[in-house]
Amino acid sequence: SDLREQEERGELLQPLSFVLLVLCSVLLYFKVSLMDPGFVKPEEEAKAGEAEGRSLVMPQAAGDVQLRRCGYCLVKQPMRARHCQLCQHCVRRYDHHCPWIENCVGERNHPLFIAYLSVQLVVLLWGGHVAWSGLYFQQSWEWLQHNIFLLLSFFLIVIFTIVVLLLLVSHLYLISCNTTTWEFMSHHRISYLRHSELENPFDQGIILNLWRFFC
């Protein structure tokens, strides 16, 4: 009867929504961590290299850049691919190897990785709000003993929220520039960027960059 009354008053909607959001976050986590991030397969390297060369707009560097063969897995790397020594594969449009998901973030799972970070941020903000609403500060040792775990939970949530927020904002910025974390951090060591007259030859404007990435 109590549950029915709470349901009629709409009090069960918020906790149910929170549980569904957490479930969505968990499913996205496993999807991103278990899926193929865009491994370069030996049987696809020839046609992939040709298609990659046609699809990328790099007029300033087209004559200087040569596709190279990976020294580890011996496949011919398409442009913007990189070998990950932890995954033991070359990954298309390699961004970084994420220790949180124990997988590379690359061409295929990068959009889902952004979706995972976004959902995770909402869950953390919601959890932080719930933890904060349960705190009623009093200057007494007894109050601290009864609320120590709630305080610790709140501070942990704040720390993780800051980390996820910074990670999401930095990725959205790089996506809007049509560059990757690896290209941003190692610009001077990448041949197709060193030989380009433009600082970022892949940049086609914020709107088109976002459209090509998400759509």
Tens digit of each residue's pLDDT, the chain (215 residues): 555 665 555 567 788 889 999 999 999 999 999 999 999 987 665 454 445 444 444 444 444 556 678 888 888 888 899 999 999 999 999 999 999 899 999 999 999 999 999 999 999 999 888 887 766 666 666 666 777 787 888 889 999 999 999 999 999 999 999 999 999 999 888 888 887 778 888 999 999 999 999 98
Per annotation, catalytic residue among 24, 70, 73, 98: 98
98 is catalytic: yes
- CA-based torsion, 103, 108, 110, 112: positive or negative: negative
Same domain, 85 and 132: no
Same domain, 30 and 130: yes
Same domain, 133 and 198: yes
Contacts of residue 4, Cβ cutoff 8 Å, sequence gap at least 6: none
CA distance 128 to 167: 18
Same domain, 95 and 142: no
Same domain, 79 and 123: no
Contact 154, 132 (CB under 8 A): yes
Domain that holds residue 182: 2-37+101-214
